[in-house]
């Protein structure tokens, strides 16, 4: 039976199996990235560092699909995990992303920037994935934009029962780790100059990362670093950033159900 790691396309999976994602240049960059922290410096003491740690077969979703040259990395991509998991929880070894921040503001580095992760569908290739460990609605105070599992629906649970919006500590740490990545990729000869969302990489992720994280993390980083806004940019089946997140009038609805 072929088990496809979630979020990877069939083509990516096949290429990774035959080693086609990893080039010689990519391997050199990966070695240089590992050497940067080899003396124990370079990572804040309070952060959990899971980069390069082996993942068991059960944790295979958290394994890189390959290695990429640092110049492939062009953007930070912000996710809402829709799961509240502390940064020191071993379950994070199974998470296909580069960074995790929890509600307390604790940070876990999950993988190297040169690690090619299946975190954002068509946007995997050029992004570093930042997962924010909160559970929020796609639009602030909009019940219809809050995702519920079938089980939760059957139990009659609502947004009010389950919502865990990002805390100020989570927001601060998300910005901190994103800026650490921007510096780190720069030190290695790459350049991050955009901030994307998972919504822009796949049609199934309309509420990812949601209005609150968009305004407090994405817009903050773009303004502070003078990045080019990529509000209307999409890859694969992704959708443009809705007007209710960006605050601009591009005629972009949130979804077919909610304007
Ligand atoms: Zn996501």
**In 3-state terms, what secondary structure has residue 145?**
helix
Q: What is the pLDDT of residue 235?
A: 97
pTM score of the predicted model = 0.93
Q: What's the CATH code of the domain at 80?
A: 3.40.80.10
In terms of pLDDT, which residue wins out, 82 or 18?
82
pLDDT classification of 43: cutoffs 50, 70, 90 = very high
Q: Which residues share a beta bridge with 100?
A: 108, 131
- Separation of 126 CA from ligand 1 center, angstroms? 15
**Of 72, 47, 50, which is closest to residue 62 (Cα–Cα)?**
50
- Separation of 53 CA from ligand 1 center, angstroms? 22
Tell me: the pLDDT tens digits for 81-125? 999 999 999 999 999 999 999 999 999 999 999 999 999 999 999
Distance separating alpha carbons of residues 216 and 75, to the nearest angstrom: 17
Structure-token match 């307390």, residue found: 104
Q: Is residue 1 part of a domain?
A: no
Q: What is the pLDDT of residue 135?
A: 98
- Separation of 43 CA from ligand 1 center, angstroms? 25
Helix axes 168-187, 24-36, angle to 10 degrees: 120
Q: Is residue 211 part of a domain?
A: yes
- Separation of 39 CA from ligand 1 center, angstroms? 33
Output the DSSP codes for 82-119: SS---TT-GGGGG--SSEEE-TT--EEE-S-TTEE--S
> Is-contact 241 198, C-beta < 8 A?
no
Q: For the chain, what percent of residues have pLDDT higher than 70?
A: 94
- Separation of 58 CA from ligand 1 center, angstroms? 21
Distance separating alpha carbons of residues 121 and 73, to the nearest angstrom: 15
Q: Is residue 258 part of a domain?
A: no
Q: Is residue 3 part of a domain?
A: no
pLDDT classification of 61: cutoffs 50, 70, 90 = very high
> Is-contact 110 118, C-beta < 8 A?
no
Q: What is the pLDDT of residue 6?
A: 62
Domain extent, residue 107, equals 10-246
Q: Is residue 255 part of a domain?
A: no
Tell me: the pLDDT tens digits for 184-238? 999 999 999 999 999 999 999 999 999 999 999 999 999 999 999 999 999 999 9
How are beta strands 127-132 and 48-49 bridged, if at all?
unpaired
Strand segments (E) across the chain: 48-49, 66-67, 75-80, 99-101, 107-109, 115-116, 127-132, 194-197
What average pLDDT is seen over the chain?
93
Q: Give residues with Cβ within 8 angstroms of 217, minimum separation 6.
A: 78, 132, 171, 174, 175, 178, 195, 209
Note residues around ion ligand 1 (Cβ under 5 angstroms): 79, 198, 208
- Separation of 211 CA from ligand 1 center, angstroms? 14
Q: What is the pLDDT of residue 20?
A: 60
Q: What is the pLDDT of residue 1?
A: 43
Q: Is residue 253 part of a domain?
A: no
How are beta strands 99-101 and 107-109 bridged, if at all?
antiparallel
> Is-contact 194 35, C-beta < 8 A?
no
- Separation of 119 CA from ligand 1 center, angstroms? 7
- Separation of 73 CA from ligand 1 center, angstroms? 18
- Separation of 160 CA from ligand 1 center, angstroms? 22
Q: Is residue 105 part of a domain?
A: yes
Q: Is residue 35 part of a domain?
A: yes
Number of domains in the chain: 1
């Amino acid at each position: 039976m072929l088990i496809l790691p979630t979020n990877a396309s069939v083509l990516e999976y096949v290429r990774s199996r035959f080693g086609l994602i990893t080039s010689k240049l990519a391997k050199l960059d990966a070695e240089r990235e590992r050497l940067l922290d080899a003396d124990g410096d370079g990572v804040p003491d309070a952060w959990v560092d899971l980069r390069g740690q082996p993942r068991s077969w059960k944790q295979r979703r958290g394994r890189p699909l390959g290695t990429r040259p640092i110049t492939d990395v062009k953007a930070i991509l912000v996710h809402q995990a829709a799961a509240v998991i502390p940064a020191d929880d071993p379950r994070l070894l199974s998470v296909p992303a580069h960074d995790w921040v929890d509600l307390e503001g604790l940070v876990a580095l999950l993988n190297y920037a040169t690690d090619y992760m299946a975190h954002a569908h068509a946007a995997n290739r050029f992004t570093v994935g930042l997962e924010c460990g909160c559970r929020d609605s796609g639009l602030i105070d909009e019940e219809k934009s809050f995702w519920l599992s079938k089980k939760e629906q059957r139990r009659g649970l609502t947004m009010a029962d389950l919502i865990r919006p990002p805390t100020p500590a989570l927001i601060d740490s998300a910005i901190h780790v994103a800026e650490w990545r921007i510096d780190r990729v720069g030190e290695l000869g790459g350049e991050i100059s955009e901030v994307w969302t998972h919504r822009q990489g796949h049609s199934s992720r309309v509420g990812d990362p949601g209005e609150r994280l968009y305004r407090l993390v994405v817009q903050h980083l773009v303004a502070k670093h003078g990045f080019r806004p990529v509000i209307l940019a999409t890859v694969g089946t992704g959708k443009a950033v809705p007007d209710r997140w960006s605050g601009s009038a591009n005629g972009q609805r949130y979804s077919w159900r909610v304007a």
